[in-house]
């Protein structure tokens, strides 16, 4: 096995404890919120929940990135240097992160719509909708090819904005927590807009 592969495996091994801590913290907050609001929690004792946990650790540990995206992005980065415009480089960090968030959220919304309207993408996205009892980790239940396509589509715009991968991490954790809570049994209301 080449040195790079050993280094990547070492990185994943270092990531797993952080993923475990994030998972326990996020699920505890969501589970306690469900209990306090009287939402059902039976979904956490199902085989589907355990299945979703496997997806959760597969994607958040970095295994998916090692297997699918690392080599591609390493090869693409020099070839896509023309897109590395660093459009937001001089901006204060707070508005810059807000811009990253808005761009990622906009792209995620339209990519999700596309997955429902394209027969090709739906064939992969149907894995996500196969869960019969939603729980917080259902968010990441998805086909690896669907995840890979999404990562490729998000790569060039974020590169153009000048968002280094380290900048994506806090956004990714916050989005993961918020979207996981949307897949939970919490009763979501929008006040007068409901």
Asked whether the beta carbons of 152 and 85 are under 8 A apart, the reply is no
Query: What is the per-residue pLDDT across 131-140, written as a single tens digit (0 to 9) for each?
Result: 999 899 999 9
Backbone angles phi, psi at 146, to 5 degrees: -60, -45
pLDDT at 6: 61
Cβ partners under 8 Å of residue 64, min gap 6:
58, 144, 147, 148
Q: 107, 106, 110: which is closest to 118 by C-alpha?
A: 110
pTM, entire model = 0.79
pLDDT at 5: 54
Which residue ranges in the chain fall short of pLDDT 50? 1-3
Asked whether the beta carbons of 167 and 87 are under 8 A apart, the reply is no
Q: 77, 83, 64, 79: which is closest to 148 by C-alpha?
A: 64
pLDDT at 118: 97
Q: 179, 181, 175, 159: which is closest to 81 by C-alpha?
A: 159
pLDDT at 3: 41
């Amino acid at each position: 096995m080449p040195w790079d592969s050993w280094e990547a495996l070492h990185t994943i091994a270092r990531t797993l404890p952080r993923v475990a801590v994030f998972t326990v913290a996020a699920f505890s907050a969501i589970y306690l919120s469900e209990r306090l609001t009287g939402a059902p929690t039976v979904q956490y004792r199902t085989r589907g929940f355990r299945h979703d946990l496997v997806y959760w650790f597969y994607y958040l540990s970095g295994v998916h990135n090692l297997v699918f995206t690392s080599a591609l992005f390493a090869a693409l980065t020099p070839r896509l240097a023309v897109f590395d415009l660093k459009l937001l480089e001089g901006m204060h960090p707070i508005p810059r992160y807000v811009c990253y968030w808005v761009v990622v959220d906009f792209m995620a919304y339209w990519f999700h719509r596309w997955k429902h309207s394209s027969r090709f993408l739906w064939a992969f996205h149907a894995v996500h909708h196969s869960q019969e009892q939603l729980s917080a980790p259902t968010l990441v239940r998805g086909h690896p090819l669907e995840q890979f396509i999404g990562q490729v589509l998000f790569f060039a715009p974020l590169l153009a904005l000048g968002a280094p991968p380290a900048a994506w991490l806090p956004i990714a954790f916050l989005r993961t927590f918020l979207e996981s809570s949307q897949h939970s049994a919490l009763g979501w209301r929008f006040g007068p807009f409901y």
